[in-house]
Chains A and B, each alone.
Chain A
Amino acid sequence: MELKYILEAILFSAQKPLNPKELRELLAAAAEHGDQAKPFKKTKEDVIVAALEELQKDHEAAQRSYRLACVAGSWQFASQPDFAPWIVALVGTKARPPRLSQPALETLAIIAYRQPLTRAEIEQIRGVAVDGVMQTLLERGLVEQTGRAEVIGRPMTYGTTPVFLEYFGLRSLEELPAADELRRIPVTRPEQLLTADPGLATTAPEQLALADVESLENKPAPDSPPPA
């Protein structure tokens, strides 16, 4: 029997999302019950994750009305959003807090990509005060204080919480769209700026082009060591 199908069966019957550690323990526990389950007794977590990812791709390829979702590191089966009208008729509307406002989403995006950062840094990017919005985000548990910045006044720094991942159905912060691009990338000033025509700023420097993500992906990440 293949590991991915065993995991599928477990997740199909599970009462809550399960993480790889819980699945590993479960495989070990099942081995106590019978010989059939013995070969999977000592399955490693990375093997489990790989099998889950494969299973996820299988379901994707089969274009089923449900998918294997991984939220904040835990796996479970969930229906596709397109089928919501029928599920709502069956189980009723989900109990969920009201949707976030545009300013709240913008602020949250900044925190998600640039965490940890201070309130002043958020305000610098957004160009407006964020006190009210931050209050909302903190109250809803989407962001939290993560520490203090080592600058004058030691202001509080903020970051996102697991609730944030759950709310947006994200596996991890790495799954944020264009994560690499929006993280701290040193923005170099183009040479020709000073010679630009009056009123015309400059042509677009390569690394700031809005749609041009591919060119970035080919470059080494800023924090990776240079090739030897």
Chain B
Amino acid sequence: MAEYKVQFEVFEGPLDLLLYLIKKEEVDIYEVNLTQLATKFIEYVEVMRMLDLEIAGEFLVMASTLMYIKSRELLPKEQQVENPEEDEGEDPRWELIRQLVEYKKFKDAATQLQAREWEQENTYPRLPIRPEEPAPAAPLRGEASLFDLINAVTEVLKRVGKRDDLREIFEDKWSVSEKIEFLIKLTTDKAAVKFSELFSGATSRPEVICTFLALLELIRLKQLVCVQSADFEEIEIARAPAPSAPLLQADAPPETNLS
């Protein structure tokens, strides 16, 4: 009996134990000797009791069923009761085997489910990053409004205006298109340019105005964005993220949400 203690496995239920015993015998379920099986099963239940394991009621029910089957078959064949009422009803042997076969099939199905569980656990769906996410300067606080810009340019004009007091009027040396090129170059070299930096080299009001108009034009064309990271902070100018421009052809419109 000692070896049982070492080998003992905990079984989910009596059917589990029966299947284990059948597997140990290396016979087909249909060819198993039920009287032998009954003896082994009851041995196991005895061991469980010796080990003070809590024996589920199901084990005792199964043990009694097996004892019943065994007792019937201990009689010589000609003396076995041919119960006519049992004919259509349950032969306990058949009933048990049917139950075992059914349970075995679901046990196998569970193993297949387990394989699928593993497979699914290791399957990674392709989920590209949403195209909206890297869009307009997300980390910054927010776009500066037109009023913010006008407010800022007024400050610049005040400064420049003072300097200009004593000068003569001369013809325009600056054009908006020229300033557009200037702004693009400036923002290409640096990630973000402070608003005041745009006008640091400006010497007159017309030049400031030209630069400002160029800036507005580039914002309209979505080439530049003006962001103000916090209230009363200086406005910063940066290149607009590339994909938002109409540079993309119509062949790849990412349809995002259909639901």
Chain A residues contacting B58 (CB-CB under 8 Å) are 127-129
Chain B residues contacting A194 (CB-CB under 8 Å) are 87, 91
Chain B residues contacting A196 (CB-CB under 8 Å) are 93
Q: Mark A105-119, 1 if CB is under 8 A from B, else 0.
A: 110111011000000
**Interface residue? B3 (CB, 8 A):** no
Contacting pair B110 A201 (CB below 8 A): no
**Interface residue? B102 (CB, 8 A):** yes
Q: Mark A158-200, 1 if CB is under 8 A from B, else 0.
A: 0000000001111000001110011000010100011010111
Contacting pair A200 B103 (CB below 8 A): no
A10 with B109: in contact, given A78-B124, A103-B12, A128-B13 (CB under 8 Å)? no
**Interface residue? A13 (CB, 8 A):** yes
**Interface residue? B125 (CB, 8 A):** yes
Min CB–CB distance A181 → chain B (angstroms): 7
**Interface residue? A15 (CB, 8 A):** yes
Min CB–CB distance A220 → chain B (angstroms): 21
A203 with B94: in contact, given A15-B128, A87-B124, A169-B123 (CB under 8 Å)? no
Min CB–CB distance A155 → chain B (angstroms): 19
Contacting pair A69 B125 (CB below 8 A): yes
A113 with B106: in contact, given A78-B125, A81-B123 (CB under 8 Å)? yes
Contacting pair A109 B113 (CB below 8 A): yes
**Interface residue? A151 (CB, 8 A):** no
Chain A residues contacting B233 (CB-CB under 8 Å) are none
Contacting pair A78 B126 (CB below 8 A): yes
Chain B residues contacting A17 (CB-CB under 8 Å) are 125
B window 1-25: CB within 8 A of A: 12-16
Question: CA–CA, A18 to B58, complex, Å?
Answer: 47
Question: CA–CA, A22 to B255, complex, Å?
Answer: 11
Contacting pair B110 A167 (CB below 8 A): no
**Interface residue? B33 (CB, 8 A):** yes
Contacting pair A126 B103 (CB below 8 A): yes
Chain B residues contacting A199 (CB-CB under 8 Å) are 33-36, 73
Chain B residues contacting A15 (CB-CB under 8 Å) are 127-128, 130, 256-257
Which of A41-49, A50-58, A94-102 contacts the other chain? A94-102
Chain B residues contacting A33 (CB-CB under 8 Å) are 250, 253
Chain B residues contacting A12 (CB-CB under 8 Å) are 126
Chain A residues contacting B182 (CB-CB under 8 Å) are none
**Interface residue? A84 (CB, 8 A):** yes
B window 211-259: CB within 8 A of A: 250, 253-259
- Output the nearest chain A residue to B102 by Cβ-Cβ distance: A125
**Interface residue? A76 (CB, 8 A):** yes
**Interface residue? A66 (CB, 8 A):** yes
Of the candidates A30, A69, A202, the one whose C-beta lies within 8 Å of that of B123 is A69
20 chain-A/chain-B pairs, Cβ below 8 angstroms: A15-B128, A66-B126, A79-B123, A79-B124, A81-B119, A81-B120, A81-B121, A81-B123, A82-B122, A102-B12, A103-B12, A105-B113, A106-B106, A109-B109, A126-B13, A127-B14, A128-B56, A129-B56, A182-B106, A201-B30
